[in-house]
Amino acid sequence: MLQATPLTEGWILRHEGEALPAVVPGCVHTDLLAAGVIPDPFLGLGEREVAWVGRREWTYETDLAPSDGHEQTDLVFDGLDTVAEIRLDGQLLGRTRNMHRSYRFDVTGMAGRLSVRFVSAYAEAEAVRGQLGERPGAYAEPYQYLRKMACSFGWDWGPTLVTAGIWRPVRIERWSTARIARVRPLVSVEQGVGVVELAVEVERARVEAPLTVEAVVGGVRARAAIDKASGAVRLEVPEARLWWPRGYGEQPLYEVELTLLHEDGPLDVWRRRIGFRTVELDRSADEHGTGFCLVVNGERIFARGVNWIPDDVFPSRITRERYRERLGQAAAAGVDLVRVWGGGIYESEDFYDACDESGLLVWQDFPFACAAYPEEQPLRGEVEAEARENVVRLMPHPSLVLWNGNNENLWGFRDWGWEGRLAGDSWGEGYYLGLLPRVVAELDPTRPYTAGSPWSGSWEHHPNDPAHGTHHSWEVWNRLDYAAYRSEVPRFVAEFGWQAPPAHATLRRALAGEELAADSPGMLHHQKAEDGNGKLRRGLERYFAFPEGDFDRWHYLTQVNQARAVAAGIEHWRSHWPVCAGTVVWQLNDCWPVTSWAAVDGDGREKPLYHELRRLYADRLLTVRGRVVAVVNQAGEEWAGVLRLRRMSVEGAVLGEAELGFRAGRRAVAEVPVPDELEPAGPKEFLVADADGLRALHFPSPDREIPYPRPEFDVTVAPGAVTVTARTLVRDLLLQADRLHPAARADRGLVTLLPGERVTIGVTGWETPDPDAARSALYCMEPAS
């Protein structure tokens, strides 16, 4: 039977004659941090002080003991970052140049000193650029010239920390006769029967040994012979329970076990969990353009999505527990789709396992982002090898529903001046429209593929045409106010968002000792977007009097503006289902403490946007759209009730009201016209719409024009709770719980109270409730000064 022994002990990191203890899996930066050689690059200006690390060579070493009792011994690396030379007892085993692949070396009969020497990723990238020629990209760093996590070279939300190391597990595998080299599971549903077809490849130590495989799933067992190096076995599971996205049903998972046998003795075992479901991508043309709608088990899905970036710039630090915490936050916010963005990595099995269990659909980008990528060697072979490996690796996961060729590269070719600069040079089109769809069609025909995001479906339309396929809405934020979201109805919005700084406690930890200001040195260093602070300011000034010199007020208002911006988009687009079939917010998470578009900051704290997503992505939503109230019902049953409309003054008077019946079908939208007499007139009035405990508010004027009363409210505290009772209109009340204690969390974000209304905010991690402290951590809209 194959025996696997992890190689985690005894590693050292060598550099210029010095030896430091090393942790494997890990990376150079984390080892240097642990040894106290470098400062924490996440704190203050520390990133600048460690830039040299990415431009040096590094070597990992350990001793490999001799092995016996088996015919074959393999050294297996699940991931090497990135350009490495592997030697055992001085003998060259091989060279690598791809972070996204695994590697296996035959070390039968060998022992001695194992060394893995990493060349600087910069040196490799610059050498490839010199060989193949310059290619344009969104950033000056040379990330498109090697197969490595692009965002380790920095992004508009991330630091430039170019890593090296043995970033995924390494082990010794000992085996005899034969081993399982690859299993490709095709999982389908045919007339209520779950079908599993397992294509098996084996590696042999004995060429003539008769081999069979036996597979078991859901109590069904089947056997098949292995002919030389391959074979296949098919199993049918009657009345298989379907796996559903969260909110649509349950997520039953079936254990599949495949055993390789020789003379009825086991040689190797492959185990995975699968789920039975069907998935299609409806790209039909209609009177609105070209659709883009995921269909799971025959049910059309409005995707309530978030974009996912690597949760740490040092991915080896992301544990199973951390994946589950972050993805649990997504699920708790009503998210049902997570897009794994193309500037990152193919995530670990822990990520996809968590998505399988929680019903989070996964849209998986191939790792290409915001650049022209050469299609010649040495890159082309690496691209195909990594695609083939990762498609097969991730196939068992029912949560995976879409393969996407790249992020923004087709759009970049058309709109970012690339075409003229390339002058006919390759730039990646052959990957996205040729190689990758062929690989997916060959290996994983059960899932749809799209060439890119954004992508209109063909060159007949602009790549980012909102009427065709996927759309990235970045004119808003970069140039336009978020009110512009309401000017169009894209078929599927795969990226959009608005920035805000991280939580106060996150800033205090990352910028300890600094007097915080929007433009203080640390704040500017932890703002990576081009003119990011300028865009934040212009976004605020459209609605508020800018709080010059008041950091706390600036911090609060930027959080409010982020939540309002995203709400403007999602409410509008959800109300136009089924023309629009999904929104994928940029972004769920951060990889370090930074001002960014994230809903959850780099320390894992939820911004107000996160709590707003819980409202926006709930099954049922009310929103005021022009002169109608849209009643959005994504639940599986009809929603019928009474809508109460009130025209109110900011002083709290009811100026008019009505009760109107509504009926919204399952997974449908109904529209209720607002009577003319209830339309708010001028900045002193607003509209309130209530139904079944849900509320929509419409203020027709920007805050700077609204004569808010000075907010008055009472605060009481109890263990685990802060209760606020309003005596006036209190708009966008926010308890910043982390100001009470860094470990404190609130269970809700922004809330607007009418006079006499009360809200109780749950608080965890605050051991000594104090009304004065609670009041000092409460922020809301105030009269313009």
Tell me 751's DSSP state: E
Tell me 738's DSSP state: G
Report how far residue 527's alpha carbon sits from residue 501's, in angstroms, rounded to the nearest whole number.
9
Residue pLDDT, tens place only, 706-717: 999 999 999 999
Residue pLDDT, tens place only, 223-258: 999 998 999 999 999 999 999 999 999 999 999 999
Q: What is the 3-state secondary structure (H, E, C) of 465-533?
A: CCCECEEECCHHHHCECHHHHHHCCCCEEEECCCCECCCHHHHHHHCCCCCCCCCCHHHHHCCCCCCHH
Question: What is the pLDDT averaged over residues 525-553?
Answer: 97
CATH of domain 309-358+473-618: 3.20.20.80
Q: Cβ–Cβ contacts within 10 Å for residue 52, how many? A: 9
Which value, to the nearest 10 degrees, does the dihedral of the CA atoms of residues 527, 453, 141, 558 take?
0
The rounded mean pLDDT for the chain is 97
Segments in 371-450 forming alpha helices (H):
379-394, 409-415, 418-422, 429-430, 436-443
Q: Which residues of 275-310 are buried (b: 16+ CB within 10 A; e: fewer)?
A: bbbbbebebeeeeebbbbbbbbbeeebbbbbbbbbb
- Tell me whether residue 408 is one of the annotated catalytic residues: yes
Identify whether the C-beta of residue 112 lies closer than 8 Å to the C-beta of residue 89. yes
Q: Cβ–Cβ contacts within 10 Å for residue 567, how many? A: 20
CA 267-268-274 angle, to 5 degrees, is: 150
Coil, helix or strand for 123? helix
pLDDT, residue 206, reads 87
Cα separations in angstroms, 483 against 171, 185, 567, 625 = 54, 47, 10, 12
Catalytic hit among 386, 408, 429, 612: 408
User: Measured over all CA atoms, what is the biggest interatomic distance in the chain, rounded to whole angstroms?
Assistant: 90
Question: What is the pLDDT averaged over residues 681-687?
Answer: 96
Who contacts 167 (Cβ-Cβ below 8 Å, separation ≥6)?
25, 26, 27, 79, 80, 81, 99, 315, 316
Considering only 71-80, 204-213, 575-584, which range has the smallest mean pLDDT?
204-213
CATH of domain 177-274: 2.60.40.10
Q: How far is CA 60 from the centre of its chain?
A: 31
Residue pLDDT, tens place only, 40-82: 999 999 999 999 999 999 999 999 999 888 999 999 999 999 9
Res 392 pLDDT > 90: yes
Q: Cβ–Cβ contacts within 10 Å for residue 426, how many? A: 18
Asked if 3-173 and 177-274 have one fold, the answer is no
Report how far residue 314's alpha carbon sits from residue 320's, in angstroms, rounded to the nearest whole number.
15
Is the alpha carbon torsion for 35, 38, 39, 41 positive or negative?
negative
Res 652 pLDDT > 80: yes
Strands 91-97 and 170-175, sheet pairing: unpaired
Where do the structural domains in the chain lie, given as residue ranges? 3-173, 177-274, 309-358+473-618, 623-705, 713-779
pLDDT, residue 462, reads 98
Q: How many helices (H) and strands (E) does the chain have?
A: 17, 44
pLDDT, residue 68, reads 82
Res 741 pLDDT > 70: yes
Q: Pick from 455, 470, 167: which is nearest to 310 by CA?
A: 167
Coil, helix or strand for 590? coil
pLDDT, residue 208, reads 86
Question: What is the pLDDT averaged over residues 651-674?
Answer: 97
pLDDT, residue 365, reads 98
Assigned CATH class of 3-173: mainly beta
Q: How far is CA 414 from the centre of its chain?
A: 26
Report how far residue 212's alpha carbon sits from residue 489's, in angstroms, rounded to the nearest whole number.
55
Of the chain, the percentage scoring pLDDT greater than 90 comes to: 97
pLDDT classification of 466: cutoffs 50, 70, 90:
very high
Q: Note the CATH architecture for domain 623-705.
A: Sandwich (2.60)
Q: Which two tokens stand for residue 127?
A: 């050498």
Who contacts 752 (Cβ-Cβ below 8 Å, separation ≥6)?
697, 729, 730, 731, 732, 733
Report how far residue 654's alpha carbon sits from residue 324's, in angstroms, rounded to the nearest whole number.
46
pLDDT, residue 139, reads 95
pLDDT, residue 207, reads 84
Strands 230-237 and 12-15, sheet pairing: unpaired
pLDDT, residue 785, reads 66
